Amino acid sequence: MSNTYTGASRAILLEPKTGVFDTLVLCLPGHTQKPEEFRDAYLASFGKLDKVAFLIIAWRAMCADDREENVSKTLFMHGHKMLGLQAWEVFLWRQYWKNKQFKKFALMGHSGGSVIGSVLFWLDPEFSTIVVDETAGQYIGGSSFYHDKAPCLWKMKDEIYDLEKSGRDTLRVPYDYDSNGDRRKILNEVKAFWKEKLLD
């Protein structure tokens, strides 16, 4: 996908076996995490969910080093936020698929992706459900100048991460979808959540 403001964006689409789906989960990886790594870590054990597809976004410059800080600082000095640009990128992907008449949209994030998803969940009511890990709540601040440096949101961070008050379906899981080394248990909970909330 390409857009005047965001440039070219890449993502991986995982379709159900039938190739027929009316629900799309937009997946937001964490720092340094490639779409393939997100897929293998969190989605591979799901198998295929009937009529549900997963779109895993490939972030640019979300590398947790000087390169990310340089991009974030440059945007900041010109009145923009890297976090806002990323949220807009996800919105554009959602809008693209909405134009293809899909019924439901959801978000699933890890680490920095959970931060982006939490902000976007409040901005775009088209997302009916969200799954985030516990990293969300530790960002939008700190000493680094990474993608989440957004002083305008700092005073609202507690409200942003209180997703349950949105009135929509939310699931918060341990960091990295892992509970004392038992990732399978957490992923089974996520799969059950998707089945309950997304499948009619």
* pLDDT score recorded for residue 138: 47
**Interval 33-52: pLDDT, tens:** 999 999 999 998 776 777 88
**Interval 18-33: pLDDT, tens:** 778 889 999 999 888 9
Q: Which residues pair with 106 in a beta bridge?
A: 25, 129
**Interval 124-140: pLDDT, tens:** 999 999 999 976 444 55
Domains detected in the chain? 7-195 (3.40.50.1820)
**Interval 136-178: pLDDT, tens:** 444 555 557 766 767 677 777 788 888 999 999 999 999 999 9
Burial bucket for residue 189 (CB in 10 Å: 0-12, 13-18, 19+) = middle
- Average pLDDT (93-119) is 87
* pLDDT score recorded for residue 161: 83
- Which of 5, 157, 140 lies closest to 78, judged by CA? 5
Residue 71 in this model has a pLDDT that exceeds 80: no
* Torsion sign over Cα 138, 139, 145, 146: positive
